[in-house]
Chain A
Amino acid sequence: MQTIAEFLRNAAKYGDLGKAALRWQAKEEGCDESILMARMHDRLSVMRDSAKAGLSPTLRSVSGMVGGQAAKMFVPEEINRFGLLGKAGAYAMSIAEYNACMGKIVAAPTAGSCGILPGALLAAQEQDGFTDDDLVMALFTAAGIGRIIALQATISGAEGGCQAECGAAAAMAAAALVQLYGGTPEASTHASAFALMNMLGLVCDPVHGLVEVPCVYRNVGGVSQALSAAQMALSGVKSPIPCDEVILAMKDVGDALPASLRETGEGGCAACRSVCGKK
């Protein structure tokens, strides 16, 4: 499966995007689908463990810049204020901070963007009671979308900026959410297109070159982008630009970014006076 269009054709054949992705992987490895389901369940449990562990108020990264912030977000009045977004954002922060503190996470698709997809799915499960099997199939959908983005563009911040990492993660999460909430495969790909289009141009500008600032905040922002994209798609709003074309646009924008905005820690936030160490 090289394109979203092909992914959609397979989804029509096998039922939905998740099933199409699962079947592709089973064929690729020449193994039974149940083995792959079990492996994805393991991924999900690492995601869940990292979401809980990152809530500790005493966590600190090696540099001391981040850690313990998810604990501030994960109190009832803050979680409840913005509904699903409250909990999804808190979990995204939690997982991203746990990563920054040398915790064990699932790169999704990268370590720097690891909070967005699980943040969205775990919060949705807690609010609306989806089963772990539902989440696992949504993860297959997300992985299928992410793989096509990696093939057609890039998921590396050093190559394409943060739009390639957090943008891809949000596009994956958006498609997964649409599937969870009963949307069609087409709607999932519209959601991915919206998420990616709304994050187009986002630069990768890590302060001191570390996966901390602004990365952990971008994970929280990425969740809100995923939810908004899913909201539009589930409402029947269609992207006027097919997802495949938005992916190619993301690549073009990434190619046009100067090196200072592609994970070198030289531009953007990394160059701001109060954090860069220069007067």
Chain B
Amino acid sequence: MDLFDILGPVMVGPSSSHTAGAARIGLITRLLLGTEPSQARIGLYGSFQKTYRGHGTDKALIGGLLGMAVDDERLRESLRYADEQGLRYSFYNADARGAHPNTVIMDVDSADGRHICVQAASIGGGEIEVQSINGLEAGFSGHENTLVITQKDTKGMIAQISSVLSASSLNIATMRVFRRSVGGEAMMVIEIDGEADKTLIDCLSAMPGIYHVAYVAARSKGV
């Protein structure tokens, strides 16, 4: 925790957990989808469900999905922007018993047929945790630059990916792998020191056995 965590974030109100955290979750979901969202079905649980309207949690989630950051003043009007940009959305009461009281489940589709389901929680002060992606455990905060790679569970994949990162002079801070079944779909969550550029992401995406590469840039310092 540093001094700009205390005098910050700079954010659109009224609540760091219910507004800023929600906008951040929306934005990260957009980055994980990797393209323009066209439809979103959003399940709210706990305190999110009870107080979302008064806190603008709905506007924040939709604004984030449209690419707005936590300090973007268009968040207030995000539902109008969604209508203009053709993002259809609906909210429902999610039953996520035992989950964090500020939990949201986002089912998001793009026009070109990509779908993603993200479960995340806003854990206070604008901090968030992405808990699962398409049912696979994720467990990252977005504090570090994070690569989320879905790939076929096959031998040598981890070695190949880490050698590509090392060739780009990127140090791996943490790396975790989750899989659905042996030889089935697997997901890798890699936090890196330094920035991943488009060349690297294209290079990873082109590797045999890799289905999708998403890149979640850390909340830039001081915002």
Q: List the interface of chain A (C-beta within 8 A of B).
A: 21, 24-25, 28-29, 39-40, 42-43, 46, 61-63, 98-112, 114, 117, 139-140, 142-144, 146-147, 150-151, 155-156, 158, 172, 208-212, 265
On B, residues with C-beta under 8 Å from A are: 1-16, 19-20, 47, 50-51, 53-56, 59, 71, 73, 75-76, 124-126, 221-222
B8 A111 Cβ-Cβ under 8 A: no
Q: Measured between alpha carbons, how far is A29 from B222 in the docked complex, in Å?
A: 11
Q: Which residue in A25, A107, A142, A208 is a CB contact (below 8 Å) of B51?
A: A208
Q: Closest approach, in angstroms, between the C-beta of B9 and any C-beta of chain A?
A: 6
Which chain B residue has the least Cβ–Cβ distance from A46?
Answer: B10
A-B pairs with beta carbons under 8 Å apart, 19 shown: A21-B3, A39-B222, A42-B222, A43-B7, A62-B53, A99-B13, A102-B59, A104-B10, A105-B10, A106-B7, A106-B9, A107-B16, A109-B6, A109-B7, A144-B3, A147-B2, A156-B125, A210-B14, A212-B54
State whether B15 touches A211 (Cβ < 8 A).
yes
Which of A25, A42, A102, A143 is within 8 Å of B56, CB to CB?
A: A102
Q: How far is the CA of A47 from the CA of B172 in the complex (A)?
A: 38
Contact B14 A212 (CB under 8 A): yes
Q: A100 and B14 in contact (CB under 8 A), knowing A62-B54, A208-B54, A210-B54?
A: yes
State A108–B16 Cα separation when bound (angstroms).
Answer: 11
CB nearest to A109 among chain B residues:
B6
Contact A147 B3 (CB under 8 A): yes
Q: How many A-B pairs fall under 8 Å by CB? A: 125
Given known A-B contacts A29-B221, A156-B125, A147 and B54 have beta carbons under 8 A apart: no
Asked if B14 contacts A39 (CB within 8 A), the reply is no
Q: Please tell me which one of the listed residues B6, B10, B124, B221 contacts residue A146 in the complex, with CB atoms under 8 A apart.
A: B6
Residues on B with beta carbons closer than 8 Å to the beta carbon of A146? 6-7
Say which residue of B3, B13, B47, B51 sits within 8 Å of A111 (CB atoms). Answer: B13
The docked-state distance in angstroms from the alpha carbon of A46 to that of B9 is 11
Report B-chain residues with C-beta under 8 Å of the C-beta of A99.
13-14
CA distance A13 to B83 in the complex (A): 58
A106 surroundings in chain B (CB, below 8 A): 7-11
Cα(A172)–Cα(B3), bound, Å? 12
Closest to B13 in A: A99
- Interface centre among A29, A62, A150, A212, by most B CB within 10 Å? A62
Distance, CA A240 to CA B13, complexed state (A) = 38
CA distance A166 to B75 in the complex (A): 26
A105 touches B11 (CB 8 A): yes
Given contacts A29-B221, A146-B6, A156-B124, A151 and B1 within 8 Å (CB-CB):
yes
Docked Cα-Cα span, A98 to B12, in Å, equals 9
Q: Determine which residue in B2, B6, B14, B15 has the highest number of CB atoms from chain A within 10 A of its CB, and name it.
A: B14
B3–A143 touching, CB < 8 Å: yes
A99 to B14, CA, bound (A): 5
A208 to B51, CA, bound (A): 7
Residue of A nearest to B58 (CB): A62
When the two chains form the complex, which single residue of B13, B51, B126 contacts A105, counting CB atoms closer than 8 Å?
B13
Candidates A109, A111, A139, A150; contact of B11 at CB < 8 Å: A111
Residues of B within 8 A of A147 (CB): 1-3, 5-6
Identify the closest chain A residue to B77 (Cβ).
A102
List the B side residues contacting A151 at CB < 8 Å: 1
**Chain A: CB-nearest residue to B59:** A102
Q: Are A28's CB and B2's CB within 8 A?
A: yes
- With contacts A156-B125, A208-B51 taken as known, whether A102 is within 8 angstroms of B7 at the C-beta atoms is no
Q: A62-B54, A109-B6 are in contact. List 18 more A-B contacts (CB 8 A).
A: A25-B4, A28-B2, A29-B2, A39-B222, A40-B7, A43-B10, A62-B53, A105-B12, A107-B10, A108-B7, A110-B125, A111-B11, A112-B15, A142-B7, A147-B2, A209-B54, A210-B55, A211-B55
Cβ of B2 and Cβ of A209 under 8 Å apart? Answer: no
Beta-carbon contact of A62 and B56 below 8 Å? yes
User: Shortest CB–CB separation between residue B100 and chain A, in angstroms?
Assistant: 12
* A98 and B13 in contact, given A62-B53, A107-B8, A156-B124 (Cβ under 8 angstroms): yes
The CA of A61 and the CA of B53, in the complex, are separated in Å by 11
Chain B contacts of A142 at CB under 8 A? 7
Identity of the chain B residue whose Cβ is nearest the Cβ of A38 in the assembled complex = B222
- A42: which B residues are within 8 A, CB to CB? 10, 222
